[in-house]
Every structure is written in structure tokens, then in C-alpha cells.
Structure 1
Amino acid sequence: MRGAGGAAGSSPGAGTFRADFTASLVVFLVAVPLCVGVAVASGVPAELGLITGIVGGLVTGLLPGSSLQVSGPAAGLTVLVYEAVQEYGVAALGVIVLVSGLLQLAMGALGLGRWFRAISLAVVQGMLAGIGLVLIAGQLYALADAKAPSSGLDKIFGIPELIGDVAGSSDSLTAVAIGVGTILVLVFWPRFRQGAKVLPAPLAAVALATIATVSFDLPVARVEVKGLLEAIQPPGLDQVTQMAEVGVIGTILAFTLIASAESLFSAAAVDRLHDGPRTDYDKELMAQGAGNAVCGALGALPMTAVIVRSSANVFAGAKTKLSRILHGVWLLVFAVLFPSALGIIPVATLAGVLVHAGWKLIPTKELLPLWRERRGEAIILIVTAGAIVITNMFEGVIIGLLMSVAKTAWETSHVHIDVKGRDDAEDQPIKVRVLGNATFLRLPKLLDELESLPRERVVELDLRGLRHVDHACEMALATWTERHNAVVRHAETADEDTKVPA
């Protein structure tokens, strides 16, 4: 299905305005539960998620880059934000996001946006899968109104104990029923096409769960509301000084790289959904950077382009970027006029929304075909996801990238040895020609093949057929040849010395 795309900067006519206005309402209805849910799961006030959504519409939405892509707080960064908040506090979040935004602006200005397309897809899918697993594991606790352990492994290993606690508590069972009901609505609501056109599945699920909770006065935890202005926490001098810490620097780099990669991969996916102008990756990276810089100055959550909101925008018939700007306006109106509406939403239903979102981050359909066709890529995906669960987001992605580079280096290091003269007379040298790309990764294979040559024959090694040879490989081959021939010549000299004169 493809939506029509219009020029990002053209003045919309009546038909275009009507389409953008309608699409903006659809995106707004999708964005509200996701903004609030991501904020709660990140361990920050719910209003901060709305602030990021507002900035995504009014700031990033106004800038050039991608005309129909919509930005806001994303489930993909939830785990990283939660870890940062637990480690450094909510107050430090602003400076981390601010510096990340400035780095994105710099990278876009330097023309680095298009290079993000060179990141291994297996690493990106593994990153999203790892995020999804940790997100699901953490939200299972929120689903039961229980406190989640801090690390990914503890969350997973603590699930059996959680099940036992839930089974013995009627209040926990009630919360789980609300959360599971939310997931079921999210799964089955889109099948009712007429209803889905009127009310997006996330809003329908949250609305039904909230109505049930209020109607029956169910004993479940509700979202805490502080108010929009009270939630804003601009970074201060104390937070700026934290930037000297190694951990904070690593977190900033993780925010920058992951948010940039997720946004630009989302842009590529959204471009396939419509026939309008293609994304300018450098400008889009700068737009994301500007949005994150503003979010950081307000102490809000980091933003990325979000495929759920973006696809809803396209399928709702959006023509220009006006739709995403208006969606930011509606979020602002809602946050200012109806903040108390957030206080009646059960936490369990937001957990259900994020469990569903986490599951969609895991490439369940692609994994088996990938395993059959490109097993190396599948292994990188699985290892990256597992490393994120075991360690943390940043280290897991680094492990995945290193594996991807090693795999590429291994696959491009094709080397072949052509041996001539093996069956010639013993006083004739064996001529060995090495072809292809010789790197240290293939050095054991090369040396094994050379060692299999007759030890009593001189070897002439020809490296002119190599397209590439690294220093380690060149030195090792030269050293082997020199030592081998030295041994042969020494043996020949010894034989001459031991001959008895006739």
C-alpha cells in the first residue's frame, strides 16, 4: 500500500490540507499512549514523553529531511534511558540528550548521515531484538504492578519468582488481566478494519482498559501525574560536570549512534511506503539532532523517528510535513488542557502496550529464513541480542559491530595457493604463487599449505598475484620462505660434506 507524497515545502491546497489534518489526528491518537508508555517504562514522569512528542512534531517536524516521517520517544531507547536514569539520575538525562543532539547536528553537517546506511542490518536487527527482549522482560513486572530488577539477566531469571508472587496476590492478578487484555486488543483490533479506521489500536486498547479500571474501581497502579511545567528539568551545572565521567561519555555515544541509526533506518522504511520526495539523510540527521538538543534543554526523553507513527501517518493519507507538525500541536493542547487524564490510566495497560511493541522489535519472521540463507548474519543477530541482554545496550552493539567487521574481513580474505613444479626434479625449486587477499585471518591456512610442501625442496614464493596483503601476513610468509630455504640449503651443504671421494 502506498500513500501519495507531496512536496515538503509546497503550500497545501484544500484537499491536501484536509488529508494532512485528518492524518495528524490519527498520528496524535497513536502517539499519546506510546509517549506516556515509553516515559513510564523509562522511569521518568509521563509528561516527559509528551514533551518529546511535542518537540518531535513542532521542531523536527518543521525541519527538512524526511517529509512524512514522525519523531517522538521510541521503545527502542527505553532500556538505555532506564539504565541511564538509574545510574545517573533523571536530572542528568537532559545533558546526555542535549550533547547527543549536538553530536547529531555535527554529524549531519559533516555529511555522515548517509554512512549510517552502511551499518550491518544483522547488527541493527540484533540491537532491536535485544531491546525487545529486555523491554518485554522488564514490562512483565510492570504488568503485575511489581518492581523490576535492574539488569536484563536478573529480569529474565526473576520471572519464575514473579509468577509465584502473582499467583498469590489477587491485586497482581487483576493488574495482569488488565495488561493481557490490552495485548489482546492490540493484536485483534486491527482485524476489525472499520473500528481501526476510527480508532487506532493503541488508543483503543488503553481506552478500554482505562474505562474498565475506572468503572469497576480496580485496585491497580495508575500513572503518576506531576504537570507539564513541573516535569521539565533543564540540566544544571552539576549535570554538566558529570560529562567528565567515562560512563556518561559512553552513554552519550550510545544515545547518539543508536538514535541516529534507528531514525535513518526508519526513514528508509518509510520511503518505501510512499511515492513522495525521498529522504535527505544528512538533513534528517540534523533535524533529529535539533529535536534532541531541544529535548535535552527541557530535560525530556531522547527522540528518534518512529516507524509506528510514521507508517500510520502515511497510511492515513498524509501529503506533506504539515501532518506531523499538527500532531505536535494536538499533543501540546492535550498536555496543557487535559493532564489529569493521564492519572486514570493503569500502569499495567501501558506495560501491555510496550510488551506488544517489544515483541514487534524481534524479527521472528525473518530469523529462520536468515538462518537458512545467511547463517553468519543470523549468528551476528543472535549474539548481538544476547550480548545486550547479558551486558547492556552499548556493549552489546559494540560486540555486534566487531563481529560484523570480523565476518566481513574473513569473507573478503579469499586466498589461493598455486603450486608448480612439485613433481619436477629435486634440484629444481617449487614455484608457489599466492592469489587473492592475504590477511592475518587466513595466515594459519597459508602456513599449513606451505608446511605441506616437500621439506627438501627450495621454494620460490611469488606474491605479485595478491590484490591485498597485510603487514603481518607479508612478514610471516617472507620469514617462512627464508627459514625453509635456509634449512634446505644447509641440508644440501651437509650432504656435500659427507660424500666420500671416489
Structure 2
Amino acid sequence: MHDLLASFVVFLVALPLCMGIAIACGVSPAVGIVTGIIGGMVVGFLGGCPLQVSGPAAGLVVILTDILHQHGPEKLGAIVLVAGTLQMVGGLFGLAHWFRAVTPAIINGMLAGIGALLFAGQFHLMVDDTSKGSGINNLLSIPGAIIKAVSPDATKSHEEAAFLGVATILIILFWTRFAPKKLKVVPSFLVAIAIVSTIAAVFHFPVRYVDLPANIFSCLQFPDANTLIYLMDKNVILSGCEVAFIASAETLLTAAALDKLHRGQRTNYDRELTGQGVGNFVCGILGVLPMTGVMVRSGVNVAAGARTRMSNIMHGVWLLLFVSFLPFVLKLIPVSSLAALLVFTGYKLMDVKTIKNLSKFGKSEVIIYATTVILIVSVDLLTGVLAGVALSICKLVYTFTRLDMKVSYDEKTNRTQLHLTGAATFLNMPKLADCLEKIRQDTELHVHLEALDYIDHACLDLLMNLDKQMKLSGGSLVIDWSTLGTVFRDRRKTYREGSVKEFRTATESNNSDTQTLQPDPSTNQSGSPNNDSEKSQSAQTEVVNIK
């Protein structure tokens, strides 16, 4: 019973989003609905994350729009076939975890860039205006679209489309904030679409409405002889690789985040990636949009009390039954209202709090994030992501090759202070050894490690040997290991608390189709056991295990 109720709630959320994303990509709403059906009935059955709901996602709108513009709808099936095949191969060979090995700065930059393009492109559709082509042009022409909608010379369709779009967003905000607790199980998206569609129908607004074919399955494009030719086109293969990468990263990050919301079965990432691949392979055969695991539908599924994968499968069944027997209801929905859903989704993807969160780990993370966003908006998605990856690699190399040393000596106390900043690795051993050799052996040397990002066994061994040498010369070595552990522990705690708080707020509000998700870097960073002992004033040769 729990799964049945949850499946119906998820169906109510998924239906308008499937149509809105399809329209945003420039294809029939029926294409998006078919993808949602496959996401529920196929991936829901095969996937490794039982409570994750799959379907067309806002995160793929930008790249799919470019693909359809470049290749045309006739090559969509071949591209999705390539993407699905790559995902299946990745899952079967146990490569799922590698898709998650991407820095949060790139993931969040990718989502923010997609959000900006989605916001700009759908804003024009929301006010019954035409898209201006590129992302930059869409952004720059937003003021003109607003003027066109509110000026005295505006046509009736512009005014009323803008009214319906703005009303949709306001209803979503109002329902999310003020709806009675017992009614919050009803999705805000559904409430907004229902109210706005009723207003448009009662007052006969002359705006664009959802256009569905008499037979929804007439939109399917099965493979033919040309498909084999398309599959040998290197541009088709490259586009398939792009779709596979973005869809896989979004799916697996969503699955990781979803595991934090329930105590049930944990995600089998390789099985989930394989299931997504099978689903997208089927989508490719039918010539419809690709899918990913999506956060809001999955979060609603958990919040509505789902316990098994049956809720996921049944939501696909509900979609199939609805479009088979009640398709005329969908024709009452204004396109501007669906566009408003994606405008709101795009805004939520551009989460400025992410910048503050990333800044806790240095300016370099913010630079990677900003570069990714700017290039996605100004050039294209692939260029932005590749630039982010390149900067991340440069940062990694710099981090593990930079070691700054500052030495000061106090003649009155015969103490030398050595401050280390950066990463003390075997790559920097010659530099560190040269510095230590220049320090007097008969002094009391205090080595400060609190500014280190990392220290390996080779450098620890070097310091231990130095301690023995200094004792023989009448000197001593003082290292407060607890400062190193405290720094790593505080960094990890700060990030975890901020990340969990941000994630809970995002999933509870259910205000975006694809929420900004950040893998917890604490699983990759160094730390040490809690050590609250007083600072040692004598030589220490004990090495604390740095985890």
C-alpha cells in the first residue's frame, strides 16, 4: 500500500516534468512521456538504486538541444543507443565509481551552467517569445523579452503567457512555504499546473497549449538502414559519449545523495549504471529522449513512503495508463506554465550558496567552478566540463608539488621555528631535506604542521631521522601532531555539516528537478584521531596515524 500511494504521487510530479523537458528540447511532449515510462518500468526493475526514479532530466536539456540542432531528430536514436551502450559497458566492467570521481567544483559548475542556459532559454518560451539561439544571446535578450511582455504594445498572447508563467512560479513558492503539513504530500508542481490550466481554460487565454498526437506512440522512431550509417559517424559517437558522461554522473550522484534519505537497501552503483544503460538503449531503439536518475522525483518517492522498487515501476505504469486513456487532459496545459517549471528549475540549479561552500576549500575551487560555468554558457557544455577537468588536474599537480618553508631563529631562547605550508610529499623531500640541513643541530627546533594539506611517510621518516641527529648534537625536535589532526578534522566537520544542511534543505523543499549535489570530499581528505592533549614541550618521535 505504501508503494502504491508513493507511485501515484511520483506520477503526478513526473508527468508535467516529462512534458516540459521534452518541449524544452524541441520535441513532442509525447517523447518525454515515453522516456518516463521506460524509466519507471525498465530501469525501475533493473536498477541498483530501488528508490531512485529515472526519466528525462533538466540536466540534459542543454546538450540535447544542441544535439537536435546539430544532427536533427533523425539521429537522436543512434546517439542515445551509443550512450546506453557505454553505460552498460561501464556498469558491467565495474566502472561506476569512476563516474563519481569528479570534483564537486566541476559538478556544481556544470549544473549551474546548465541552470543558466535552461533559465534563459525557457524564459523566452514562458512569455511566448522565440529563443535567440545561443545561451549568451538568450541571457542578453531577457530584458527585451520582459519589455515585450509588459509594454502597452504587447500582443495579448505575450501578456497572458507571461501572466500564466509568473503565476505558476508564485504558486510553487506559496505552496512550498505555506501549504498545510497534511497537504504537502501533493507536489507543488502539480498544484501550480492544475490552477494555471484551470484559469487558462475558464478565460480562454489565446496562448500555446500542449500539442499531443492522437496516438502518443506515433512519435516513436524505430531503427532503419540509416541508423547503421549514423552509428559510424564520429560526431554521433562523440555526442553519445557526452550524453553518457553527463547522464551517468548525474544519476550516480543522485543515488549517493538519495542513500542519505532512507535506511533501506543501499545503492549498487554498477547495477544502477547497467540498468540506466539498458533503459537508454531501449530509448535509443524507440528514438526518444535519454534519461537519468532525477532528484526531485526520487526525493518525493522517499518522502511519500516508498519502500521497494515497486513504487518506481508503478509510476511508469500510471504514466502509460494516463496517456493511453486520458491524453485530452494534457492538451489543457499551457506551454508557458511548463516553461515556468523549467525556469524555476534553472534558477534553483544556479545555487549561489555553492560558491560559499566551495570557498571553504580555497579560491582554486571557486575558480574551477566559475570557469566551468562561464565556458558552458559562452561556448558549450563539453568545453566547460573539459576546462574544469583540466584546471582540477593542474590544481592537483600544484597541490602535491608545492611546499613553502619559513624559518626563523631566536638567539635568546636558542629556538628555531619552521613553518610548513602545502604538501610534504616525497616529491618535495630534496627541498625539505636541504632546508633542514641548513638549520643548526644544537637548537630547539619547533616544526609547525598546521598549515599542511598533506604529509606522507617519506617526510615523516625524514623528520624522525632529524630528531635522532639533533639529540646527538645537543638539540631537540618539537612537533605538535595534534594541530595537524585538528586542522583536518575541523575542515572535514565544517564541510560535512554544511553539505548535509544544504542537501536536507534542498530535498525537503522539492523545488527543482535536478538539485545541486555534492559528493562529500571528506571521504577523500586526510584526517586524524581526536587528540586534545596539551602541546608537547620536548622532542617527540611518535608518529600519529594520519587517516
- Give the TM-score, by structure 1 length: 0.79
Aligned to 2:381: 393
Letter in 1 for 2:393: V
Structure-2 separation of matches of 1:193 and 1:33: 23
Deviation per CA, 1:90-124: give whole Å up to 9, x if none. Answer: 12111111110011000001100012221111100
Change (3 A) 1:467 1:48: farther
Quote how far apart the aligned CAs of 1:234 are: 2.0
Structure-2 separation of matches of 1:305 and 1:436: 40
Q: Of residues 248, 260, 274 in structure 2, which corresponds to 1:286?
A: 274
**Structure 1 residue 203 corresponds to structure 2 residue 190:** yes
Aligned to 1:133: 116
Aligned to 1:187: 173
Deviation per CA, 1:276-306: give whole Å up to 9, x if none. Answer: 1110110000010011001111111110001
Quote how far apart the aligned CAs of 1:371 are: 2.5
Deviation per CA, 1:362-402: give whole Å up to 9, x if none. Answer: 22223224235432112211111111101111121111111
Structure-2 separation of matches of 1:437 and 1:354: 50
Aligned to 2:258: 270
**Structure 1 residue 315 corresponds to structure 2 residue 288:** no
Letter in 1 for 2:299: S
Change (3 A) 1:370 1:417: closer
Q: Of residues 250, 253, 278 in structure 1, which corresponds to 2:238?
A: 250
Helix, strand or coil at the partner of 2:290: coil
**Structure 1 residue 41 corresponds to structure 2 residue 24:** yes
Letter in 2 for 1:38: I
Aligned to 1:176: 162
- Is the 1:132–1:360 contact (alpha carbons within 8 Å) kept by the matching residues of 2? yes
Quote how far apart the aligned CAs of 1:195 are: 6.5
Aligned to 1:350: 338
Structure-2 separation of matches of 1:248 and 1:150: 21
Structure 1 regions of 5+ residues with no counterpart? 1-17, 420-434, 440-444, 450-464, 469-502
Alignment of 1:305-384 (within 5 A): 305-384=293-372
Letter in 1 for 2:194: A
- With CA pairs under 8 Å and 6+ residues apart, which has the higher RCO, 1 or 2? 1
Per mean C-alpha deviation after superposition, the further-off stretch among 145-154 and 369-378 is: 369-378
Aligned to 2:223: 235
Aligned to 1:214: 201
- Root-mean-square deviation (Å): 2.5
Aligned to 2:537: none
Per mean C-alpha deviation after superposition, the further-off stretch among 384-393 and 195-204 is: 195-204
**Structure 1 residue 404 corresponds to structure 2 residue 387:** no
What number of residue pairs does the alignment pair up?
417
Letter in 2 for 1:322: M
- Is the 2:126–2:339 contact (alpha carbons within 8 Å) kept by the matching residues of 1? yes
Letter in 2 for 1:171: S
Structure-2 separation of matches of 1:58 and 1:37: 21
Aligned to 2:103: 120
Letter in 2 for 1:374: G
- Is the 2:18–2:56 contact (alpha carbons within 8 Å) kept by the matching residues of 1? yes
Identical positions, percent: 42
Deviation per CA, 1:281-338: give whole Å up to 9, x if none. Answer: 1000001001100111111111000100000000001010010001010000011111
Letter in 2 for 1:351: A
- Is the 2:47–2:273 contact (alpha carbons within 8 Å) kept by the matching residues of 1? no
Letter in 1 for 2:282: V
Letter in 1 for 2:329: A
Aligned to 1:57: 40
Helix, strand or coil at the partner of 1:344: coil
Q: Of residues 291, 310, 333 in structure 2, which corresponds to 1:303?
A: 291
Greater Cα radius of gyration, structure 1 or 2:
1
Deviation per CA, 1:168-211: give whole Å up to 9, x if none. Answer: 31320110110010011111212203474352111111111111
Change (3 A) 1:293 1:372: same
Per mean C-alpha deviation after superposition, the further-off stretch among 111-120 and 257-266 is: 111-120
Aligned to 1:10: none
- Is the 1:31–1:309 contact (alpha carbons within 8 Å) kept by the matching residues of 2? yes
Structure-2 separation of matches of 1:182 and 1:196: 18
Letter in 2 for 1:209: V
Alignment of 1:59-98 (within 5 A): 59-98=42-81
Quote how far apart the aligned CAs of 1:25 are: 0.6
Letter in 1 for 2:291: M
Aligned to 1:161: 144
Structure-2 separation of matches of 1:21 and 1:306: 20
Structure-1 separation of matches of 2:382 and 2:231: 17
